[in-house]
Amino acid sequence: MAAIAKPRYQGLVAARRWEHDPARPRAEFSLAVGDRLGELTVIGHLARGRANELYQVWSNRHWCALTAKVIAPEHMTSGTLPAALRKEERVLARVRHPNIVQVFGTGDAGGRHYLLMEYLNGPSLFDVLESLPKRRLHLPDAVRAVMHVGAAVHYLHRCGWLYRDLKPANVHLREGIPVLLDFDVVWPMGKEGRRPGDRLGTAPYMAPEQVLRDPLTTATDVYGLGALLYELLTGRWPTEELEEDEDDEDWYDDEDDDEDYAPKTAMAPVNSNGSPRALTTRELNTRYPQLTAPVVPPRQRNSQVTPELEKLILRTLERDPSKRFQTVSGMLAALAPMLKGRHRLWPENAPVERRADTKTR
Residue positions annotated with a catalytic role? 165
Quote the DSSP letter at residue 251.
T
Q: Which amino acid is at 264?
A: K
SS (H, E, C) 205-227: HCCHHHHCCCCCCHHHHHHHHHH
| CB 189 within 8 Å of CB 303 | no
Give the H or E element holding residue 91.
helix 83-92
The DSSP line for 266-333 is PPPPB-TTS-B-PPPHHHHHHH-GGGTSPPPPGGGT-TTS-HHHHHHHHHHT-SSGGGS-SSHHHHHH
Q: Output phi, psi for 284, to 5 deg.
A: -60, -50
Q: Is the dihedral of CA 233, 317, 157, 87 positive or negative?
A: positive
Question: Residue type at 132?
Answer: L
Q: Which residues pair with 177 in a beta bridge?
A: 174
What residue type is 125 in one-letter code? L
Please state the three-class secondary structure of 106-145 as a single string: EEEECCEEEEEEECCCCCEHHHHHHCCHHHCCCHHHHHHH
* Rounded Cα gap, residues 214 and 196, in angstroms: 7
| Cβ-proximal residues to 281 (8 Å cutoff; 6+ apart), any chain | none
Q: Residue 217's Cα: distance from chain center in Å?
A: 18
Phi, psi of 253 (to 5 degrees): -65, 155
Are 202 and 165 in contact by the 8 Å Cβ rule? The answer is: yes
Contact present, 179 and 99 (Cβ < 8 Å): yes
Contact between 99 and 149 under an 8 Å Cβ cutoff? The reply is yes
